A and B are shown apart, each in its own frame.
Chain A
Amino acid sequence: MTNVAKTDIGPPLYKDQLPEIIKNNYGQWKYHEHVKPGVLKHVAENGDELYTVRVGSPRLLSVETLRWFADLADKYCDGHLRFTSRHNVEFLLTDASKIDALIEEVEAEGWPVGGTGNSLKNLIHTQGWIHCHSAAIDASGIVKSVMDDLYDYFKKDDLPAKLKISLACCLNMCGAVHCSDIAILGIHRTVPKINDEEVSKACEIPNVVASCPTGAIRPNPKKKSVTINEEKCMYCGNCFTVCPGLKIMDPDNDGVAIFVGGKTSNARSGPRFSRLAIPFIPNEPPRWDSTVKAIRNLVELWVENARPGERYGEWIERIGWEKFFDMAGLPFTDKHIDDFIFSVPTFRSTTQFKY
Chain B
Amino acid sequence: MAKKKRPLLDQLKEGKYPSFVKEMEKMAEKKPAVEDHLNLLERSYEDKTVHWKHGGIVGVRGYGGGVIGRYSDLGDEFPNVKEFHTMRVNQPSGWFYSTETLRKLCDIWEKHGSGITNMHGATGDAILLGTTTEHLQPCFDDLSANGFDLGGSGSDLRTPSACVGPARCEHACFDSLDLCNHLTQEYQDELHRPMWPYKFKIKISACPNDCVSSIARADMSIIGTWRDEIRVDQDMVKEYANNGKDIEGILASCPTDCISYDTEKKEINIDNENCVRCMHCINKLPKALRVGKEKGATILLGGKAPIVQSAFLSWVIVPFMKLESPYDELKDLLERIWDWWDEHAKVRERVGELIYRKGMRVFLKEVGLEPDARMVKYPRANPYIFWWPEEVQQND
CA distance A340 to B216 in the complex (A): 19
Q: Which residues of A contact B352 (CB under 8 A)?
A: none
Identify which of B8, B98, B280, B307 contacts A171 (C-beta below 8 A): B307
Which residues of chain A (1-20) have a CB below 8 Å from chain B?
2, 4-14, 16-18
Chain A 52-95: CB-based contact to B (< 8 A → 1; otherwise 0): 10001111111111110111011000011111110101001000
Q: Is the CB of B8 within 8 A of A285?
A: yes
Q: Is the CB of B95 within 8 A of A13?
A: no
Q: Is A325 an interface residue (CB 8 A)?
A: no
Q: Which residues of B contact A134 (CB under 8 A)?
A: 50
Known: A61-B117, A61-B119, A286-B45. A82 touches B97 (CB 8 A): yes
CB distance from A224 to the nearest CB of B (A): 19
Q: Is the CB of B50 within 8 A of A11?
A: no
Q: Is the CB of A176 within 8 A of B309?
A: no
Interface-facing stretch out of A28-36, A225-233, A295-303, A326-334: A28-36
Interface-facing stretch out of B138-146, B263-271, B323-331, B364-372: B138-146
Which residues of chain B (219-263) have a CB below 8 Å from chain A?
223, 249-250, 253-255
Q: Is the CB of B53 within 8 A of A82?
A: no
Which residues of chain A (275-291) have a CB below 8 Å from chain B?
283, 285-287
Q: Is A191 an interface residue (CB 8 A)?
A: no
Q: Which residues of A contact B389 (CB under 8 A)?
A: none
Chain A 172-209: CB-based contact to B (< 8 A → 1; otherwise 0): 11111011000000000000000000000000000100
Q: Is the CB of A61 within 8 A of B118?
A: yes
Chain B 79-110: CB-based contact to A (< 8 A → 1; otherwise 0): 00000101001111111111111110111011
Q: Is B120 an interface residue (CB 8 A)?
A: yes
How many positions in chain B have a CB within 8 Å of any CB in the partner chain?
A: 131
Q: Which residues of A contact B105 (CB under 8 A)?
A: 66
Q: Is the CB of A251 within 8 A of B48?
A: yes
CA distance A204 to B209 in the complex (A): 43
Q: Which residue of A lies closest to B254 (CB)?
A: A268
CA distance A30 to B109 in the complex (A): 39
Q: Is the CB of B115 within 8 A of A62?
A: yes
Q: Is the CB of B95 within 8 A of A7?
A: no
Q: Is B385 an interface residue (CB 8 A)?
A: no
Chain A 111-130: CB-based contact to B (< 8 A → 1; otherwise 0): 11000000000001011011
Q: Is the CB of A27 within 8 A of B166?
A: yes
Q: Is B333 an interface residue (CB 8 A)?
A: no
CA distance A11 to B109 in the complex (A): 16
Q: Is the CB of A14 within 8 A of B96?
A: yes
Q: Is the CB of B169 within 8 A of A11?
A: no
CA distance A59 to B258 in the complex (A): 41
Q: Which residue of A lies closest to B252 (CB)?
A: A309
Q: Is the CB of B117 within 8 A of A131?
A: no
Q: Is the CB of A14 within 8 A of B177?
A: yes
CA distance A74 to B99 in the complex (A): 7
Q: Is B319 an interface residue (CB 8 A)?
A: no
Known: A85-B212, A129-B50, A176-B122. A79 touches B19 (CB 8 A): no
Q: Is the CB of B24 within 8 A of A62?
A: yes
Identify which of A7, A14, A81 contacts B99 (C-beta below 8 A): A81
Q: Is B310 an interface residue (CB 8 A)?
A: yes
Q: Interface size for chain A: under 10, 10 to 19, 20 to 34, or 35 or more residues?
A: 35 or more
CB distance from A265 to the nearest CB of B (A): 5
Q: Which residues of A contact B14 (CB under 8 A)?
A: 148
CB distance from B291 to the nearest CB of A (A): 12
Known: A22-B167, A31-B287, A286-B9. A12 touches B20 (CB 8 A): no
Q: Is the CB of A211 within 8 A of B149?
A: no
CA distance A59 to B346 in the complex (A): 35
CA distance A215 to B334 in the complex (A): 32
Q: Is the CB of A11 within 8 A of B149?
A: yes
A11-B149, A66-B119, A148-B16 known; 4 new pairs, CB 8 Å cut-off, are A18-B96, A85-B95, A178-B311, A271-B313
What are 5 A-B interface contacts by the 8 Å CB criterion?
Answer: A5-B140, A112-B17, A266-B277, A285-B48, A286-B8
On B, residues with C-beta under 8 Å from A are 8-9, 11-12, 14-20, 23-24, 26-27, 37, 41, 44-45, 47-55, 60-63, 70, 84, 86, 89-103, 105-107, 109-110, 115-122, 124, 129-130, 137, 140-141, 143-145, 147-149, 161, 163-164, 166-170, 172, 175, 177-178, 180-181, 184-185, 188-189, 192, 208-217, 223, 249-250, 253-255, 277-280, 283-284, 286-287, 290, 304-311, 313, 346-348
> What 5 pairs across the A-B complex have the smallest Cβ distances?
A148-B15, A244-B54, A173-B305, A14-B93, A27-B166
On A, residues with C-beta under 8 Å from B are 2, 4-14, 16-18, 22, 26-27, 29-33, 42, 50, 52, 56-67, 69-71, 73-74, 79-85, 87, 89, 92, 110-112, 124, 126-127, 129-135, 138, 140-141, 144-145, 147-148, 151, 154, 168, 171-176, 178-179, 207, 210-211, 213, 236-238, 240-242, 244, 249-252, 254, 262, 264-273, 283, 285-287, 308-309, 340-342
